Amino acid sequence: MKIAIVWLRNNLRIHDNPIFNIIEEIGDFDHVIPICIVNKEKLEKTYTHNRIRFLYQSILDLKTTFKSKYNVNLLSFSGSVIEIFSLLISSLKSDSIEIYCDYCTRPETISENLEIKDLIHDMNDVNFTIVDAVNTILNIEEVISSDYYSNPKSMKDMQHIFEKTFGKYLDFFNVPKPLTPVINIPQINMSVKNLLDEKLFEFLMSDIILKGEIKKFSTTVDYFPGGETEALSRLRQKITENPDYVNNFSKPSTYSTNENQNPLEPSTTGLSPYLSNGCLSPRLLWQECVNANKKGEHTKPPVSLIGQLMFREMFYLLSRSVDNWDSDIGNSNCKYIEWDEYNEEKITLWEEGKTGFPLIDAMMRQLEVTGWMHHLGRHAVSCFLTRGQLWQNWKYGREVFDRKLIDSDWAVNNGNWLWLAGVAPFSMPYYRIYNPCPSAGTSLNVETKEAKFIRHWVPELRNFPSKYIFEPHLAPEQIQNDSGCIIGKDYPFPMVDRKISRKENLAKFKESLNRQK
């Protein structure tokens, strides 16, 4: 009997999943066992409720899809990857076992791969295959080892890489089209209980257990439901059925304060959580954007949706070609800056949205409640934490984002923080500091007339006049009284003088750079 184990690690979907197409092409498997592995205890120590809830919802949704579409059980386990694979391999009575999983650049997953290779090293009947370009458009290892590759620093560099890799026809790169979902997944007539060792059942997470975990980590605001079903629905509504939106899309022009009539709905696609968790194929999103672009005039990279996908690929490439990608030491893409020592009070006030700067606080409170934040909001809060006002190392903010963001992605999260802290070759000039008290014309694209976003996330200020809502400490005492919010009592004073801190930090940044010359 020949068995394929498909480890769905970061590709929680059926559509455009190359692993299943590979298995279908081989065609002689008696049984295909799709599995997911989480470490429940580790998850709860590492991530906040939104990240955990989104993951469990995605797994449960995929289990439902496997059962309805293929009549196949997706087995979900909680525990150590190596222990579960050891038990799984020993329990399967098979002449040949082929293990497949998706490629990922995160160091933890690379370590897992090595552990599995060590486990099966002396097993002649077990093979382990890592399938490339499952959750990226480029084959990352192939590209970084090519003779045309050098570390990209700009969209122009990425366009060169894409043209060299795929070629081009008219204005469009010849990116492979998404694969059609397989028609059938073979499964022998044997129950899971008979197929697996009894000890392995201790690690199984049934549908009932998953539903209990989802309920445990759900809040009153679960705005982004996890799973492929929701991913495809959002793709259809935002992209497929909305070509004008795609063709007019310009990332810098989108509102950081979400849609004005709905403070929970992004003015962007809101698809990033589904990409980062593998619920949505980047190739499918690319194809749908190209389909829209072919219908008429459209924006171009870097501001277009295609451009945003290319930036994502850029960070994946750099995460493999740059040593110590997640560090400020030994990282060729990170200038050395003499940041202050970790300041617990500053970090806590920033993380909890109690800085006294309503825009920063609203963004951080949105992150806590929903697990998401607009990219320009991320610009504002990261600049504020690092080179703008608080002079804290970007790694501290990166760690907060990694715990809380439902679209957190090791490669992309580190790339964004390097970018926004002003320390990377691809960063904006360090002296471009975002104003945490923006006006209507700011590049942060904040809606200031009605300020509904601020009123929603900082309800202490809901009755403040818009004129003062971004700097409420400047409001006359009578206005504070009339608004029912006394600054220093009901809402904090600014934790720093933004103008003084900006001036001081610019000088410190320049001094750090001069010392490296």
CATH classification of the domain holding 77: 3.40.50.620
pLDDT value at residue 23: 93
Q: How confident is the model at residue 441 (pLDDT cuts 50, 70, 90)?
A: confident
Residue 331 inside a domain? The answer is no
pLDDT band at 443 (very low <50, low <70, confident <90, very high): confident
Which of 245, 269, 188 is closest to 1 using CA atoms? Answer: 188
Q: What is the CATH number of the domain that holds 235?
A: 1.25.40.80
Q: Same domain for 56 and 156?
A: no
CA distances for 191 relative to 90, 186, 194, angstroms: 17, 14, 5
Domain-embedded: residue 218: no
pLDDT of 256:
87
Question: What would the mean pLDDT of 339-355 be, rounded to a whole number?
Answer: 98
User: Which domain range does residue 113 map to?
Assistant: 1-135
Beta pairing class for 31-38 and 75-78: parallel
Q: What is the distance between the alpha carbons of residues 395 and 118, in angstroms, rounded to a whole number?
A: 32
Q: Give CA 251 to chain center in angstroms.
A: 17
Q: How far apart are CA 406 and CA 301, in angstroms?
A: 25
Q: Are 270 and 402 in the same domain?
A: no
pLDDT at position 171 over 90: no
Per-residue HEC secondary structure of 86-125 comes to HHHHHHCCCCEEEEEEECCCCHHHHHHHHHHHHHCCCCCC
Same domain, residue pair 281 and 355: no
Q: Which range (49-53, 185-189, 368-372) has the least confidence? A: 185-189
pLDDT digit string, tens, across residues 140-170 = 999 999 999 999 999 999 999 999 999 998 8
Q: Which of these ranges, 198-212, 233-247, 421-435, has the smallest mean pLDDT? A: 198-212
Residue 374 maps to a domain: yes
Residues 6+ apart with CB under 8 A from 209: none
Whether residues 81 and 67 fall in one domain: yes
Burial class (CB in 10 A: 0-12, 13-18, 19+), 129: exposed
Q: How many helices (H) and strands (E) does the chain have?
A: 22, 7
Give strand pairing partners of 127.
Answer: 98
Q: Distance between CA 478 and CA 334 in Å, rounded?
A: 48
Residue 189 above 70 pLDDT?
no
Of the CA atoms within 13 Å of residue 433, those in its CB half-sphere come to 23
- Claim to verify: residue 27 and residue 98 sit in the same structural domain: yes
Distance, CA of 11 to CA of 209 (rounded, Å): 21
Whether residue 193 is predicted with pLDDT greater than 80 in this model: the reply is no
Q: 77-115: per-residue pLDDT in tens? A: 999 999 999 999 988 878 899 999 999 999 999 999 999
| Residue carrying structure tokens 């002449």 | 95
Q: Is residue 128 part of a domain?
A: yes
pLDDT score of 202: 85
**Choice among 56-60, 391-395, 441-445 with the minimum mean pLDDT:** 441-445
Residue 189 falls within a domain, yes or no?
no
Asked if residue 440 is part of any domain, the answer here is: yes
* Predicted confidence band of residue 192 (pLDDT cuts 50, 70, 90): low
Average of per-residue pLDDT across 343-363: 98
The answer to whether 286 and 311 are in contact (CB under 8 A) is: no
pLDDT of residue 216: 94
State residue 188's pLDDT score. Answer: 57
Q: In what side-by-side order are the strands of the sheet with 126-131?
A: 75-78, 31-38, 2-7, 96-102, 126-131
The distance of Cα 254 from the centroid of its chain, to the nearest Å, equals: 19
Cis peptide upstream of residue 282 (ω within 30 degrees of 0): no
Asked if 504 and 400 sit in the same domain, the reply is: yes
Q: 122 and 240 share a domain?
A: no
Asked whether residue 421 falls in the same domain as residue 441, the answer is yes
Report how far residue 157's alpha carbon sits from residue 354's, in angstroms, rounded to the nearest whole number.
Answer: 40
- 115 and 158, same domain (yes or no): no
Q: Is residue 188 part of a domain?
A: no
For the chain, what is the largest distance between any 2 Cα atoms, rounded to a whole number of angstroms? 82
The mean pLDDT value of the chain amounts to 94
Residue 472 has a CB neighbour count (10 Å cut-off) of: 28
Give yes or no: residues 78 and 146 share one domain: no
The more confident residue out of 383 and 267 is 383
Radius of gyration of the chain from its Cα atoms, rounded to whole angstroms? 24
- Do 440 and 359 sit in the same domain of this protein? yes
Note whether residue 298 is domain-resident: yes
- Mean pLDDT, to the nearest integer, of 217-234? 93
198 falls in which pLDDT band (50, 70, 90)? Answer: confident
| Predicted local confidence at residue 1, as pLDDT | 80
What CATH number does the domain containing 486 carry? 1.10.579.10
Q: Clarify whether residues 165 and 270 are in a common domain.
A: yes
pLDDT-based confidence at residue 195 (cuts at 50, 70, 90): low
**Number of domains present in the structure of the chain:** 3
**What pLDDT does 178 receive?**
97
**What mean pLDDT is predicted for residues 206-220?**
93
